[in-house]
Chains A and B, each alone.
Chain A
């Protein structure tokens, strides 16, 4: 909840105070040093595997202190351990209405299923290109209410499964669209409650829209820097009202678009690394979670783009998904684990909480 201070706070200032503020501004202008050169970031990078500069961490820390929500209570759902349900490189995660979790594994080339508590339910797929097989599966999303779609990146197609892990069909074949749309490089996948599918094409910086039967409908966006266009498109998510949320690395921003591609909102991402995915998840209240695979950072914004929570120290977060209970699932590809985080009010914050 956002509180708008009453205008009297601003109204209390008098003319003398305004003059003092102007003098202070001039002093700041004269005394502040230049921005730190790019070389200092190299030293910070050399000290660890994550690309977080000291300036970024202090800013994030300060933000964390004042943010109204906290991501905490991580619960392990799946990990790289011998036995059924093992994941080595989780690349996609989705949650259905019953709380069941679907995780794609790019190293083992299959789709794993778990119940809400993390008990393994089964798996689908295997290495290959035949129907039902996969090569480097990537993003996973719920398709409507009764299906799950998997981006089979190596085979350049999208597969659909039912909620019990049974293959339904090859929904989209990108090679079949090459004559019409040119070469595609699918970077991410999202679907709305009506089963419409959105594919982020990193090759030409556009979103491809398909209907629930896999039929190509239209293209949104394209190369560009202003809102409505994309550069470094690295993640896509869809809200419950089919608002498309994208994350771009080169433009370092998040955009919120309506179904026609009209820009509703755009805001910058605090800091990004240089490669990898920027997975996006949107919950029922419109909150947007974005993670940076390279730096291991995760941010949660409210519907208007205000930062409400952040988290550092993730190991290659490649996919995000909100569950119905408001918890956030994070698939960390570098460490081979999927964890569930709860989003809770910060007791130190003054924002209103829902009960």
Chain B
């Protein structure tokens, strides 16, 4: 504080003291307290105890409180208890009187002890301890809350009506509730609800904006809990009745002593499916997920996916293993998981229902007492055949379904409707057939049902305007038939019981399961094969070898899964069939199998494991498998695996199948360095009727990593892999792949954070593989020097993806009959119509994304502190084939002109701010260039270049007056080209000045005046468009709870008519008049009424007005 200010304060202090000298003396033992109510807090301790009874009073702003009804007061302890449910944040005023010199609250009795050397009057008889009398006033503990719930409810209710001159009245309402607290001691409840209602049009219909109506409730109690809403359900007991689902319903779990149980009842948002696929060399994604019939265009239930790559479970996330687009059912792997042609990918997921609404009920329990254990799991999932999705079943459809049995091929309904569509009839040798005529260009709407390869007359061709197109290929040559596939409602139940007993070193487990799967609940035909069963027995022995400390174990398991048993999830891990010599995709859901696993763990460390097994599956394939594995961790880590399986099929020309695998991994863990050697050989043969089928790879690699003593983690490795394919004479080499990997990660420090990973892979063709090269990399760096005000960060990602080929199909439909121009720009009324044709084929594209930000802060005086210069560079470049070296830092001009970039965007921005703390003025400047290009269509390209420079100067000449002056210059260039069609190139230059004067004499009034002048000129145009726009903004407080804002603008346009950069349906240029009013009034402390009205007037158009009335209440 300056001397002047101190002096003024001192004078004021003296005056106040002098004034107070004449005031009357009041009781020093009385006063007032103020309590701010907190959520879920009924008790408040006042600063004084031993309050005078009857001297207390309490009130809130709206009314006085009554003792015994609104509050109680423990006068002795000075504890104020709030009854009822006040609003957190409210202020409670309490007045009371107290004892100025109160006695202590606690009473302590002192026991008499005679002084040393003094004999007690009654020697040998200790005086009986007098029981401390209970003081009536201290007996009751006010912290004991009365029984009952303590819940805090909060939320919002909003009702709004939108109206206007060119729209119907819309009623929007929303309700958001949150409840939390305790229902009883130890029982906690947390719940949220969101109900967003949608525009109610004048015709009375509603439409959902998005699925926002949701409830989420969690209940936690000492012995269990329950959840309602979007819940995961996982049942993991045993092997046959496992379940992992994402549900919309209720789930509960509880445990009492040694008994645990789980139950759930819900609607299933999706249908479970498991997809196994191989990776594409150098392509991280996207990989498309399908429904169980292989159909595309499904959506995946968010969070339901389980992804494994080469048997290893993956984690979702850009810094983890994969990302997934749930809406389009596409999965893309990150650079942490490089994908090659040998990569085995498995995705288990739920795709959104497209047939019937489905419900699921499941329960599981487990009991364990000492050496005994038992479990039960049951589940039932079924389609509601009275509630089909996306279709309506008429009586004839239901009749067809009743006659179809379990066969989807027989469940075909009528599929042709006249009155217009995409197809016309054409005459072919066999009679009449349907041919695609164009979107809405034919006389018939035709649906096609998939009946299986070779069963139909039509084949799918391409996708136009989002719809699949089919063509006639002749009877028996296609997989589709004219007709509508009728959905078959399914019902699926499964029950499993099991138990176990442990006797010393031995443990026995038994499990039995029964299932029922009805593929068509409309029909009782084919129901004889609905039931199935499975069983398992496992014997474990664990102990130590006699005379040594080595631990041994042995597990013998027999498993029988019947031909008709239907589990809810796949029972085997992904690609387990290859271990037995079966081709990928062969089902192991039905089998007879015996396995034995033995392990030896010597006292010196390590583990030796041996496995053997025999497998038989329906169809006559039998296989025997043996495996030996050694692993040891320590200074010298070793891992070795040898595995061999031999199998024979029945009735096949090339009936033998098998797998021979060997792997060696050696690693030396020194403090400063960790070298490692890896080698693997894997040969697989699969039974076949046509020829020798199999593959083989041999791989060797070296790796060097920094040791634990080095704070920086560096790993470098090189791997060589040779892939071969089975041929009549043996194995034929296909390709040689060389992979180099480097990763570097620095310790987490404030000043420098660094992370780098890079992989280069080259595939050299030896037979039929094509040469390819891929680079994947991530770089993340952050540097900071606070003493100099410097900071910078960079993040770079290089990856490879796939992109669908697309074509823009423009069709001239007549003058004014379409909505687009000849370049595909939406005009509302044009001569063309536009359709986007997407090919299912993917082109390999490499992508580099870069983000760089550098900042320098400087200035030491009060005015200049906070000054800064900031440079931001953001880029995203995608190129078909290989990226060029400079693509991560692609210059803006290259984005605009390089035809090899399918998509590109670059942002360069320089910002300068000077003297932000100055009272007089401060300056801010920004120069920005943004270039984007889209060449993803085969026959269309578009590029935009936007450069701008802005200078802003703010001053505060007086305390009540502020000004802002802004100058700007902008140049935009747009280029569009249609192959063998129209082309457009435009450049628009704009310069302008904006000034604002703001007058704020006090908090009740803010008045501003703004003027904006701009000059726009299209390249090649002689005259510029001159626009001056000016008007006031006024904000004023109205009464004690209202606020009114009025704003108006008038635009004067001269010179050439305004033109936009690209043709558009939106009006160009500012409106001639524009005015808006907002009035808000606080009805109560937690409710606000708002009214707003806007009027816009444009030359040549009708005056438009819009308004909104809104009531918002919070509690």
Chain A positions near chain B (C-beta within 8 angstroms)? 1-15, 17-19, 21-22, 24-26, 28-29, 32-35, 38-39, 41-42, 45-46, 49, 51, 79-82, 84, 86, 88-89, 96-99, 107-110, 122-129, 132, 135-136, 144-147, 154, 163-164, 166, 168-169, 183, 192-196, 204, 211-213, 217-218, 221-229, 231-232, 239-242, 249-250, 258-263, 266, 273-275, 284-286, 294, 302-303, 315, 324, 326, 334-336, 350-355
Contacts and interface: CB of A to CB of B under 8 A. Distances in A.
A350 B48 CA distance: 10
A8 B861 contact: no
B47 A3 contact: yes
B13 A302 contact: no
Q: Which 4 A-B pairs have the closest CB atoms?
A: A260-B1080, A25-B10, A126-B318, A194-B156
Contacts of A128: 849, 876
Interface string B1-30: 111001101110110011111111111101
Given A79-B748, A285-B36, A285-B89, A258 B1082 contact: yes
B91 to A, nearest CB: 8
A286 B37 CA distance: 9
B319 A4 contact: no
A274 B38 contact: no
A187 to B, nearest CB: 13
Contacts of B26: 6-8, 11
B33 interface: yes
Contacts of B214: 146
Nearest to A226: B1000
Interface stretch (B422-430, B718-726, B833-841, B959-967): B959-967
Interface in B29-87: 30-39, 41, 43-47, 79
Contact of A34 (B3, B194, B1008, B1079): B3
B303 interface: yes
Contacts of A144: 156, 174, 176, 194
A122 B316 contact: yes
Interface of B: 1-3, 6-7, 9-11, 13-14, 17-28, 30-39, 41, 43-47, 79, 88-89, 91, 143, 152, 154-158, 160, 172, 174, 176-178, 180, 190-194, 196, 209-210, 212, 214, 216, 218, 230, 302-303, 315-320, 323, 325-326, 334, 713, 745, 748, 750, 753, 780, 782, 784, 786-787, 793, 795, 797, 849, 851, 853, 857, 859-862, 865-866, 868, 872, 874, 876, 905, 916-917, 950, 954, 956, 959-960, 962, 964, 996, 998, 1000-1004, 1006, 1008, 1033, 1035, 1037, 1041-1043, 1045, 1076, 1078-1082, 1085-1086, 1088, 1090, 1092, 1108, 1112, 1114
Given A21-B13, A240-B89, A259-B1080, A34 B2 contact: yes
Nearest to B1085: A241
Contact of B962 (A12, A81, A223): A223
B954 A163 contact: no
Given A241-B1086, A258-B1088, A354-B41, A227 B174 contact: no
Given A145-B193, A336-B748, A354-B41, A25 B13 contact: yes
Given A17-B21, A108-B795, A135-B874, A223 B996 contact: yes
Contacts of B1108: 217
A249 B172 CA distance: 37
B193 A86 contact: no
A123 B318 contact: yes
B319 A108 contact: yes
B156 A225 contact: no
Contact of A224 (B11, B18, B24, B998): B998
Contact of A275 (B17, B315, B868): B868
Contacts of A240: 88-89, 154, 1114
A222 B1006 contact: yes
Given A11-B23, A145-B155, A154-B874, A351 B47 contact: yes
A218 B1076 CA distance: 10
B133 to A, nearest CB: 27
Nearest to B782: A107
Nearest to B1044: A260
Nearest to A240: B154
A1 B43 CA distance: 12
B1081 A260 contact: yes
B962 A259 contact: no
A226 B319 contact: no
A33 B4 CA distance: 11
A352 B34 CA distance: 9
Contacts of B318: 109-110, 123, 125-127
A33 B860 CA distance: 23
A262 B194 contact: no
Given A226-B960, A286-B36, A352 B45 contact: yes
A335 B160 CA distance: 44
A275 B857 contact: yes
Contacts of B959: 225
A28 B4 CA distance: 11
20 contacts: A11-B24, A18-B21, A38-B860, A45-B860, A108-B795, A145-B177, A145-B194, A146-B214, A166-B302, A194-B156, A211-B160, A225-B956, A242-B156, A260-B1088, A261-B1043, A284-B88, A336-B748, A351-B47, A355-B79, A355-B143
- Of the candidates A35, A212, A226, A263, the one having the most CB atoms from chain B within 10 angstroms of its own CB is A226
Contacts of A334: 750, 784, 786
Contacts of A225: 956, 959-960, 962, 1000
A334 B1006 CA distance: 38
Contacts of A45: 860
Contacts of A273: 865-866
B866 A275 contact: yes
A262 B1082 contact: yes
B259 to A, nearest CB: 27
- Of the candidates B318, B780, B954, the one having the most CB atoms from chain A within 10 angstroms of its own CB is B318
Contacts of A336: 748, 750, 753
B265 to A, nearest CB: 21
Contacts of B334: 126
Contacts of A352: 33, 35, 44-47
Contacts of A294: 866
B176 A6 contact: no
Contact of A1 (B17, B35, B158, B866): B35
B117 to A, nearest CB: 44
B932 to A, nearest CB: 9
Given A3-B32, A284-B38, 4 more contacts: A2-B33, A35-B3, A99-B190, A232-B916
A239 B868 CA distance: 33
A127 B753 contact: no
A95 B202 CA distance: 40
Contacts of B11: 22, 25
Nearest to A128: B849
Contacts of B784: 334
B359 to A, nearest CB: 22
A97 B155 CA distance: 11
Nearest to B20: A10
Contact of B212 (A9, A146, A258, A262): A146
Contact of B14 (A22, A222, A326): A22
Contact of B1112 (A14, A34, A242, A353): A242
A226 B1003 contact: yes
Nearest to B93: A4
Contact of A263 (B156, B795, B1003): B1003
A84 B320 contact: yes
Given A144-B194, A163-B216, A284-B38, A22 B18 contact: yes
B28 A6 contact: yes
B3 A32 contact: yes
A210 to B, nearest CB: 13
A259 B1112 contact: yes
Nearest to B1070: A179
Given A10-B20, A241-B1085, A107 B753 contact: yes
Contact of A132 (B325, B750, B753, B1076): B325
